Amino acid sequence: MTVALIAGAGALPAALAAAMVSAGAGRPFVAALDGVPPEGLAADLTFRIERLYPFFAALHQAGVTGVCFAGAVRRPRLDPALFDPVTAGMVPRLMGALAQGDDATLREVIAMFEEEGFAIRSAAEIAPALVPAEGLLAGNLTDRDRADAARAALIAEALGRVDVGQGCVVQQGLCLATETLAGTDAMLAYVSALPASLRPDPARGRGLLYKAPKPLQDLRIDLPALGPATLGLALRAGLGGIAWEAGHVICLDLPAMQSAATAAGLFLWARAPERARA
């Protein structure tokens, strides 16, 4: 199977490409949305949403049979003048999905690719080493940390069910921030700026960042991702560590994360999900 990476911003596309080469699968075909060049990875093809059908045709011509979505993509502004006739007929589907939120949009995009005969490959399937299984990967956990993680998992699930975000920050049972459209970095920056008077005594527990997929999302696309930069922001925010749902969160350069966490006295915990996902 020839796999194309539908690459967005950030380090994930390059990490996946490197993992595929290391596994002997060869370099993937890389397709990038116009104006969103992948970091550290040359694109074989750029495309626009307004010309989705010609893009499908180009993938077929390149021999692509499977696709993997990787990296962050903001909703593009569509130019009506650029639509080809076939893609124009897809607009009602896309606009209807966009009106329902990110999950509905991603499901519709997946459906369009599958209707064109492309198999959807998940990042976890292509590079399982990037998706840690259950375990404590750095540092030590206290009972307070475990309680905060359980509280955060409930909050993240509630946020995900209304298609808001994939994470939150909890300290001593208090929710300091939730992830929204601005993303994890903005959430951690907000926590960093909170005055000490609004935060519990850190001597009783520094709190944590928690990440997990939305309960109803298709796990083949848009898995949460963490990396060394996330760890630095968590440290700046005064947190004690990072926890996430084991098996469903991508860790970019986990060895670097573990080394940095150990040096900073932070924990990294791939926490077992409390209920099985469909």
Spatial distance between the Cα atoms of 141 and 138, rounded to a whole number of angstroms: 9
Q: What is the residue extent of each domain of the chain?
A: 3-126, 131-271
pTM for the whole structure = 0.89
Angle subtended by helix axes 184-193 and 228-236, to nearest 10: 20
Q: Six-digit token pair at 35?
A: 């104006």
Please name the residues in contact with 267: beta carbons below 8 A apart, sequence gap of 6 or more.
Answer: 136, 138, 139, 140, 141, 145, 208, 240, 241, 242, 243, 261
The fraction of the chain above a pLDDT of 90, given in percent, is: 69
- Model pLDDT for residues 126-163, shown as the tens digit of each residue: 889 899 999 999 999 999 999 999 999 999 999 999 98
Q: Do domains 3-126 and 131-271 have the same CATH topology?
A: no
- Alpha carbon distance 160, 156 (integer Å): 6
| Topology at the third CATH level for domain 3-126 | Rossmann fold (3.40.50)
Q: CATH: 3.40.50.300, 3.90.870.10, 3.40.140.80, 3.40.50.150. Which one for 131-271? A: 3.40.140.80
Cβ burial, residue 79 (10 Å; 0-12/13-18/19+): exposed
pLDDT tens digits, one per residue of 65-100: 999 999 887 777 778 888 888 888 887 887 777 777
H or E stretch at 171: strand 167-171
How far apart CA 269 and CA 146 sit, in angstroms, is: 10
Across the beta sheet with 119-120, the strand order is 45-47, 29-33, 3-7, 66-70, 119-120
pLDDT digits (tens, 9 = 90+) for 256-268: 999 999 999 999 9
